[in-house]
Amino acid sequence: MFRLIDCRLARLACIFSTTILLQSLAWPCSNGERGFSYPQSPKVPSIVSERYRTAYHFQPPRNWMNDPCGMNTSGANTCINKKEKKLHLILPFIKISGPMYYNGVYHEFYQYNPDGAFDPNDSLMNMVWGHSVSTDLINWIGLEPAIKPDIPSDICGCWTGSATILFGVQPVIIYTGLIDRKANQVQNIALPKNRSDPYLREWAKVGSNPVIQHVIPGLNSSHFRDPTTGWIGPDGLWRIAVGAEVNGIGTALLYKSEDFMSWTRIERPLYSNNALNMWECLDFFAVVPGSNNGLDMSSEIPSGAKHVLKVSINSCDMYIVGVYDLKRDEFVPDTVQDDNRLWTRIDYGTFYASKSFFDSKHGRRVIWAWSNETDSYSDDIAKGWAGIHSIPRTIWLDGDGKQLIQWPVEEIESLRINEINHQGLELKKGDLFEIKGIDTLQADVEIDFEPTSIDDAETFDPSWLFDPRKQCREADASVHGGIGPFGLVILASDNMEEHTAVHFRVYKSEQKYIILMCSDLRRSSLRPGLYTPAYGGFFEFDLENEKRISLRTLIDRSAVESFGSGGRICITARVYPVALVDDDGAHMYAFNNGSTTVRVPQLRAWSMKRAQVNVMKGGSVIDA
């Protein structure tokens, strides 16, 4: 999950269990816009460290977090030559890879820089795999690092991978190792030293590492990474997929093994497509259309199930729904789409390198991702920390078998306090309704919108599908439309100079309705040098029958996660309003700027308590 870039920029880190890759440059997303960037802006006051730090999202107590791209400094190291001004290594794109639930405990591995919040002028990488544990996915205990670069097959970095529990008994981590300054990549395995330790604190690398090497004609050996969680194939053998670029084409290479230690490549890949030239942070899992029950890939998959292949690239997490052809041992998409701009996104905002796992405790599939900072490198240094994880989400496939649905895990509701409830509101064109009585900086808001008429829906232009962000910029919250824009204004200053708008706009396309959801950050802060885009995406909606369009938004200081239409579309954003720093407070409103009146049958909101993240029972912080 990296690109060859000056090694000085590779001081990024790992995220979620087994890793997430970070993009610290402005890489284009599917529509050609940068997914995020780090402009150089002036340092901010130290108070920012606390005011922008989230209260209930996962992040280490200090320093940089994202996905594996580091090396430790102990012992001989052939990766770094301090006399060289330019060192060829990989710039990590972010990703998650390797969460697991084992013996009553959730494990989260993440890439972590123990020496700082990422200094772009420091060429010494020192990333380790951080490790935290939880019993509820919300409150976390920080442990010592699980994996450090210390063997020849990972001496220049322990990168992304995945966790698999073999037959419900033996946890295994398979991860990518960087073996030299040319960014050649191999796959390694680590096992817990003591399975009876409930926290699995110590991990040991097997002597046979690397277990998979780059010996494929046409393979770019610097684009060969991120092995998936294992599953049982039709012959009873284990399978994993590894992201790769082969002859310039994005490919999910397929490997099989009897014992999870000795691997043989299957000649035919799991799937390949020339829409992208490199796939990283692969995820492959089974789902049953219309059921929110998760499936364990190491168990028998029921008939009628679909499979999902997720890839991370260019700051976007995209997925394809299809079937797993057991006879040919390959993934067959329901619809082949050669233009990646039309692939469906997991999340349309700052959400990358996601990884899912089967939660056997609740029989669900859970997904989460890395959400990077979108202020500057110097801001990160001033804050002393950088990077968070999204709130874990339950994920399933809708009834028509086309779209993934995501919803925050129910455990997050344990943080709710001070509920307010409004019913029967009506928003005419230009109306603002202020939502009071809760902490608007740490909140969970659920609101239903019901247009009183569908006659004024504007005509949909199919070309907009290629660039929904452009449509969010041009048809923003202040531009009057037919049905919409309507939604929430959050983190607003007294005079509205600062605000973030999360809103919908309804369009008519032939016999169906298309809804645009936006999270517009362009006026989110008066601070200079921030990346403040207008995120957005489209989804189909049966307005005549469903009538109500729901919005749920989790606000956690600098993090905003929004879920439209019950989780059919999701947008994650990072914001840095001055009002947060100045302690002026923030306002929240429901609004409508469309000509059609919109009813609000239900509006519920809560303040959110602070979660216990990376602290021990006695209250002392454990630095990962």
- DSSP string over 134-191: ESSSSSBEEEEEEE---STTTTT-EEEEEEEEETTTEEEEEEEEE-STT--EEEEEEE
**How much is the pLDDT for 385?**
85
Query: CA-CA distance, 89 to 24, in Å (whole number)?
Result: 14
pTM value is: 0.87
Domain finish residue from 387, 408, 429: 408
616 inside domain: no
Phi-psi label, residue 379: left if phi above 0, alpha if psi -120 to 50, beta otherwise? alpha
Same domain membership, residue 376 and residue 285 = yes
Same domain membership, residue 450 and residue 382 = no
> What's the chain's average pLDDT?
84
Same domain membership, residue 435 and residue 376 = no
**How much is the pLDDT for 525?**
95
Same domain membership, residue 132 and residue 38 = yes
pLDDT at 116 over 80: no
CATH of the domain at 429: 2.60.120.560
CB 319 within 8 A of CB 343: yes
**How much is the pLDDT for 3?**
31
Q: Map tokens 């925050």 to a residue.
A: 408
pLDDT at 564 over 50: yes
pLDDT at 607 over 90: yes
CATH of the domain at 130: 2.115.10.20
Same domain membership, residue 462 and residue 337 = no
618 inside domain: no
pLDDT at 82 over 80: no
pLDDT at 561 over 90: yes
DSSP single-letter state for residue 206:
-
Q: To the nearest whole percent, how much of the chain has pLDDT over 70?
A: 82
**Selection from 38-47, 91-100, 370-379, 414-423 with the highest mean pLDDT:** 414-423
CA-wise closest residue to 212 among 231, 171, 184: 184
**How much is the pLDDT for 214?**
87
Same domain membership, residue 580 and residue 557 = yes
Torsion from C-alpha of 207, 212, 214, 219, nearest 10 degrees? -160
**How much is the pLDDT for 98?**
62
Helix (H) or strand (E) holding 520: strand 512-520
**Cis before residue 145, ω within 30 degrees of 0?**
no
pLDDT at 258 over 70: yes
Query: CA-CA distance, 333 to 35, in Å (whole number)?
Result: 26
User: Total domain count for the chain?
Assistant: 2
Say which range, 174-183, 357-366, 587-596, has the weakest mean pLDDT: 174-183
Domain finish residue from 374, 408, 442: 408
- Average pLDDT (127-147) is 91
623 inside domain: no
At 469-500, the pLDDT tens digits run: 999 999 889 999 999 999 999 999 999 999 99
**How much is the pLDDT for 315?**
86
Contacts of 303 (CB under 8 A, 6+ apart): none
Say which range, 74-83, 146-155, 313-322, 437-446, has the weakest mean pLDDT: 74-83
Helices (H), 415-551: 468-474, 543-546
- Domain enclosing residue 580, as ranges: 416-608
**How much is the pLDDT for 262?**
98
Same domain membership, residue 372 and residue 470 = no
Would you place residue 129 in the very low, low, confident or very high pLDDT band (cuts 50, 70, 90)?
confident
pLDDT at 89 over 50: no
pLDDT at 119 over 70: no
Residues with active-site annotation: 67
CA-wise closest residue to 183 among 83, 280, 75: 280
Say which range, 23-37, 222-236, 406-420, 595-609, has the weakest mean pLDDT: 23-37
Same domain membership, residue 355 and residue 422 = no
Same domain membership, residue 490 and residue 465 = yes
User: Identity (one letter) of the amino acid at 281?
Assistant: C
**Cis before residue 485, ω within 30 degrees of 0?**
yes
**How much is the pLDDT for 120?**
42
624 inside domain: no
Same domain membership, residue 41 and residue 18 = yes
- Average pLDDT (324-329) is 93
64 inside domain: yes
Helices (H), 317-397: 377-383
Q: Which residues pair with 563 in a beta bridge?
A: 552, 570
CB 111 within 8 A of CB 68: yes
**How much is the pLDDT for 72?**
26
At 11-65, the pLDDT tens digits run: 222 322 333 222 222 233 433 333 323 233 334 444 456 789 999 999 887 765 6
Same domain membership, residue 450 and residue 383 = no
β pairing state of 63-66 and 385-386:
parallel
At 297-325, the pLDDT tens digits run: 988 899 999 999 999 988 899 999 999 99
Would you place residue 205 in the very low, low, confident or very high pLDDT band (cuts 50, 70, 90)?
very high
Same domain membership, residue 454 and residue 345 = no
CB 498 within 8 A of CB 548: no
**How much is the pLDDT for 138?**
98
602 inside domain: yes
Q: Which residues pair with 64 in a beta bridge?
A: 113, 386
At 271-300, the pLDDT tens digits run: 998 877 889 999 999 999 999 999 999 888
Domain finish residue from 361, 392, 408: 408
Integer distance in angstroms from the first to the last C-alpha of the chain? 22
- Average pLDDT (262-270) is 97
622 inside domain: no
598 inside domain: yes
pLDDT at 207 over 60: yes
